[in-house]
Structure 1
Amino acid sequence: MTITIKDESLTGDILNQIQIAVENEIVTVKDIITARVSAEVKAYNKKLPEYFKGLIRPTASEKTLNGYKLKKRKKIDIEQQTFIAFDAFQKNGYLVLIDDQQAESLEQEVLVAKTTTVSFVKLTPLVGG
């Protein structure tokens, strides 16, 4: 099944939108974050474009209007980005809203359907590898 993930501002404006695949109807918040970070990093690593658009700001990058610009184009480590994303979630660096309900923990289980909406709302700048 495919679900849509949206990045939203604090005012509700949609900043970015991606599709991710989930294998089961019941997933954890941790599974959703892992799938999202993995999809973003794999897409970047495949082409190594000038800008990275994702949840976690890679190390040695600067924030621009077009995304994060890496000083040197190089592959990004999925595991490191995922770990930083988990840590940021636990430290309230961003909120995850599932069908307009705030996720409370990484282990929280979610029943996903075709109509499920998942939104990420960044609260602080996130920097990773």
Structure 2
Amino acid sequence: MRIGELAARTGVSVRALRYYEEQDLLAAERSSSGQRRYPESAVERVVLIQQLYAAGLSSRTIAELLPCVVDGRATPALIERLAAEREQVDRRITDLLHARDRLDSVLTAATANLRTGAACRREAAPRAR
């Protein structure tokens, strides 16, 4: 498939797909006219790359981990690295859950204030002297 079709099927911009190629995250064959051609498996790979980016991994880390994640080929060092990345994702999830809980508390209080007619007031920050 051509780059535009891959972009449409994955919801990723053409520019991002070119960046993935530059970072050795994605490979394309070239037609005789120089157009990129991707195999069907590129759709799943792009989705995986997007998931890893969303988890906070860098391009370099994704490039190192893709062989383990995609093909199951791994060295002990790569498995250790993957486990460390997973721990970081777990920490971010925990932090996000705490932030969500805090927002829920604020929403509950704000909703109660609306019912009672009390307004939420923004407190001014103390001025520096």
TM beyond 0.5? no
Q: Which structure has the greater CA radius of gyration?
A: 2
Shorter-chain TM-score bucket reads: under 0.3
What TM-score does the superposition give when structure 2 sets the normalisation length?
0.22
Normalized per residue, the structure richer in strand is 1
Between 1 and 2, higher relative CO (CA 8 Å, sep ≥ 6) is seen in 1
Normalized per residue, the structure richer in helix is 2
